Amino acid sequence: MTVRIEAAVADRGFDVSLSLAPAETIAVLGPNGAGKSTLLSVIAGLLRPDTGRGEVDGRVLFDLSPGVNTWTAPHRRGTALLAQEPLLFPHLSALENVAFGPRSAGAAKAAARETALRWLAEVDAESLASRRPGQLSGGQAQRVAVARALAANPDVLLLDEPMAALDIHAAPLLRRLLKRVLAGRRAIIVTHDVLDAYMLADRVIVLEDGKITEEGPVRDVLQRPRSRFAAGLAGMNLVAGTVTATGIRSAEGLEFAGQHDDPLLPGQAGVAAFPPSAVSVFLSEAHGSPRNSFRVTITDLEPHGDQIRVRAGEMSADITPAASADLGLAPGMGAYFVVKAAAVSIYPA
């Protein structure tokens, strides 16, 4: 059985259709304002779309098709939403917070308490049972919030950037915890962090301007990105254009020669992808082995590990600090980005 969601919200430009298989976790990626939180709100019942239909294992969450007006209340949907902030009840202990879901579903007090203790143990928070939220650190509170969500035994767990509000020490701990507790469970996780997608998800969906622009297995999407956003997450330069006999011609008229494994026909839409580490920077046009060379204007320089990332609009190059100093690079300067054809992958858009 599966989860199927189709929903449109006109004033947000949102129109999405997706499905979720049993025991599958999907990561939803996209820039701010892309519609990621809108998607979770629709599924959770916090936002009513203009049209659409949603169901879980054949049970209707909502059906707003023409002539139909079915709407299941949020607490009857079998979904649990874990937000950026833990949102624990401040007047209840951690144990009572986690027991709230089972109690609301009709469980006896003793049974709800037993369930809560089991889930607190599962998230390594059993010792926090008697504490109230004000006595918990951010990471501790988020672990209790995970236990509370899972204690409700949801059919679908919805996670809205659960690591966003945590510090650099707490976030990795929660990520490892989620990897363990999400195994075999249906979940949708909204994130800006590519590491969350790699570690937690089976499949990734990229949302841009309220629409799905690409989707597929995590590694496929991030190793062969077809949208600029996914390319940025994967640390790749991406140039969209039209396939030529030798590579890609961009809308700006730039010619990129490259390698391809897919059958390509001149004239079809395609993309050229290459890592910033493959790009060399020169002050004058380079010559020699077959290369792609194009003039750029440098827009920014920033540290990137032990390299300097040289940005030129949508494209970037990684060079050593010594090379940057020798070239005297600075924002506003003209330069040439050069990348060998062997480092450029061409594939259909």
Direct distance between the N- and C-terminal alpha carbons of the chain, in angstroms, rounded to an integer: 32
What burial class does residue 32 get, using C-beta atoms within 10 Å of its C-beta: 0-12 exposed, 13-18 middle, 19+ buried?
A: exposed
pLDDT of residue 84: 85
Are 345 and 273 spatial neighbours (Cβ–Cβ below 8 Å)?
Answer: yes
pLDDT of residue 118: 93
pLDDT of residue 271: 87
Say if strands 3-9 and 279-282 run parallel, antiparallel, or are unpaired: unpaired
Query: Which structure tokens are listed for 130?
Result: 């008697």
Domain annotation for the chain: domains and CATH numbers: 3-223 (3.40.50.300), 236-348 (2.40.50.100)
Are 234 and 218 spatial neighbours (Cβ–Cβ below 8 Å)?
Answer: no
- pLDDT per residue rounded down to tens, the chain (349 residues): 589 999 999 999 999 999 999 999 999 999 999 999 999 999 999 999 999 999 999 999 999 999 899 999 998 999 999 888 889 999 999 999 999 999 988 899 999 999 999 999 988 899 999 999 999 998 899 999 999 999 988 999 999 998 887 777 788 888 888 888 888 899 999 998 888 888 899 999 999 999 999 999 988 888 888 888 888 888 889 888 899 888 889 888 888 888 887 778 888 888 888 999 999 999 988 766 557 898 999 999 999 889 999 999 889 999 999 999 999 999 999 999 999 988 888 888 7
User: What whole-number distance in Å separates Cα of residue 280 and Cα of residue 272?
Assistant: 17
* Full strand arrangement of the beta sheet holding 291-297: 279-282, 334-340, 291-297
pLDDT of residue 222: 83
pLDDT of residue 287: 65
Q: CA gyration radius for the chain?
A: 24
The pTM assigned to this predicted structure is 0.79
Are 81 and 158 spatial neighbours (Cβ–Cβ below 8 Å)?
Answer: yes
pLDDT of residue 226: 83
User: What whole-number distance in Å separates Cα of residue 215 and Cα of residue 210?
Assistant: 14
